[in-house]
Amino acid sequence: MTAEWPQQSADPTVQPVPAAVVAAVDAADSTLQNPQTAVIALGGNLGNRLENLQGAVDALEDTPGVRVKAVSPVYETEPWGVPAGSQPGYFNAVVLIRTTLPPGSLLERAHAIEEAHSRVRAAHWGPRTLDVDIVAYQGVRSDDPVLTLPHPRAHERAFVLVPWYDVDPAAEVPGRGSVADLVAAVDRQGVQRRDDLELRLPE
């Protein structure tokens, strides 16, 4: 069963991208001038969880310099790092993109998408409407505390690894090994695929 969706409104991010920047990035897209592959993890357990994830997919596709190439199935998962039953369950998915944005600019866009979906950072491991996390970026390894690449806990999180494997079974987590091997080793209890739900790949 595929959910029916309301008409999506424009992404209410705060500052518009200057027209000259849009033109330059779109030109890079059209000529495939050094595009990079990135892996984005989506999750949320407040509000309309499926609609929020779809809104993030659509907002990524609407970003100059970003093209969504694959969207995983939706998984319902138990909250991470909190007592059982203390929060609603999460919906999670993974998105593969090609992008001409550098990692820092992509992170800024991820935060803007979260804020547009009323993400509140009130407590560590607290419930949230939407997470948009950069899991990996073209094999880059970085210890920058602002954006550590690959995501420092992606290799141990089934709710990231399982949908990532769905969209790219040959993927590698830099410095950690193949996603296939990591999926085989991780505890997948509490990670349930929701075949009754679907995220649309932007046209």
Positions marked catalytic = 119, 128, 131, 133
Residue 102 exposure: Cα atoms within 13 Å on the Cβ side = 2
Among the listed residues 105, 94, 134, the one whose alpha carbon sits nearest the alpha carbon of residue 28: 105
Angle at 72 between CA 170 and CA 135, to 5 degrees: 65
User: Would you say 99 and 39 are in contact if contact means Cβ atoms under 8 Å apart?
Assistant: no
The whole-angstrom separation of Cα 133 and Cα 102 is: 15
